[in-house]
Structure 1
């Protein structure tokens, strides 16, 4: 991400972000193979992984999220017209669901050694703590400095429409300290700065309690 931000400070879409990161990984590690939209079946369910990095016989799944507030930018003579995605409660749920999915893939086969979930956004609603208490998505907070682990569910007062197709609680095996990193900044407006959050899951740590080695 550090190398990528020196070349691309903004993206047109999640697909643009995905391709640019895949290209940078391939440039940095020419011996690995990179697959986009990799399909992997666990029992009767097919998981679509945004990116799979293959290093010899080891697989590294990577899930990406690119959530934006509306913004028009000209950068290096290129025009960017970002959409306003909104629905931050669903965005928070979805990024944590990606962490859950990566953990499931790591659990299934030992060729998956570790995985990552990366969220890039110019929406401060994701990295700032909500000033309101008892929101419907309080347990799905990914604010800077927090920790996510265990079971997380919608508040009891959540409307049926809000959580449609996302009703199930998210249960994580790992514990993740949330640290947002600066990515790029265009101005001091609310939508003028991009930050990213990265989750890293290691198979041995999640399921076998193997101590990390330096």
Structure 2
């Protein structure tokens, strides 16, 4: 779709910039020598749906706490890319989910991922960390705090609605990282 809209662009998948060999970007769009990194996240709720005689089987991809952390980490990674690249013009993080609980605030009083919650209408900025009571298994590979230098509104929108069940609506979230 990007190539159809911008036929003169180049696209790199799983791009690794030379300044950080651990930073793997899902998509890098190169347009007139300028770079637009895009990070994608897709999580689903378990369901089986038949649409136009085609059967779709989606698995349960729980771990909402880690899903929120990883989405915000993508924003932080693109901010790093922005700060270290002369070619950066803008970047995007995109999350699509059929797990509607992402849109709602945490329900537990002692929620371990409260600072990472990406509920609809929230604002993400600054320093965010796991609560002190977070288990080591939950944080494995995600121990570092998230630090965002800019302000990011969390505004979910409907992507598609298959039916009225609790797994029948897909929502999306897009955040733009500016220069």
The alignment's TM-score, normalised by the length of structure 1, stands at: 0.80
Distance 1:71 1:119 in 2: 19
Q: Tell me which residue corresponds to 1:169.
A: 145
Cα separation, 2, equivalents of 1:169 and 1:96: 10
Runs ≥4 residues deviating over 3 A:
none
TM-score (norm 2): 0.95
Cα deviations by residue, 1:129-169 (Å, 9 ceiling, x for unpaired): 22333300000010000000000000001111111111111
Q: Which has the higher contact order (CA 8 A, sep 6+)?
A: 2
Matches for 1:24-35 after TM superposition, within 5 Å: 24-35=1-12
1:8-45 deviation per Cα after TM superposition (whole angstroms, max 9, x unaligned): xxxxxxxxxxxxxxxx11112212122211121325x3
Which residue is equivalent to 1:140?
A: 116
Matches within 5 A, 1:47-126: 47-126=23-102
Change in Cα spacing, 1:179 to 1:79, as seen in structure 2 (3 Å) is: same
Question: How many equivalent residue pairs?
Answer: 179
CA distance in 2, matches of 1:36, 1:168: 26
Q: Which residue of 1 aligns with 2:157?
A: 181
- The structure with the greater share of residues assigned to helix is 1
CA RMSD of aligned residues (A): 1.2
Q: Give SS of 2:17's match.
A: strand
SS in 1 for 2:16: strand
Give the aligned partner of residue 211 of structure 1: none
State the alpha-carbon separation in 1 of the partners of residues 130 and 141 from structure 2: 12
Inter-partner Cα distance in structure 2 for 1:132 and 1:167: 21
Question: Distance between the aligned counterparts of 1:31 and 1:123, measured in 2?
Answer: 36
- Residues 36 and 75 of structure 1: is their aligned pair in 2 closer, same or farther, counting only changes over 3 Å? farther
Instruction: Say whether the 8 Å CA contact 1:58–1:112 is kept in structure 2.
Output: yes
Q: Please state whether the residue corresponding to 2:2 is helix, strand or coil.
A: helix
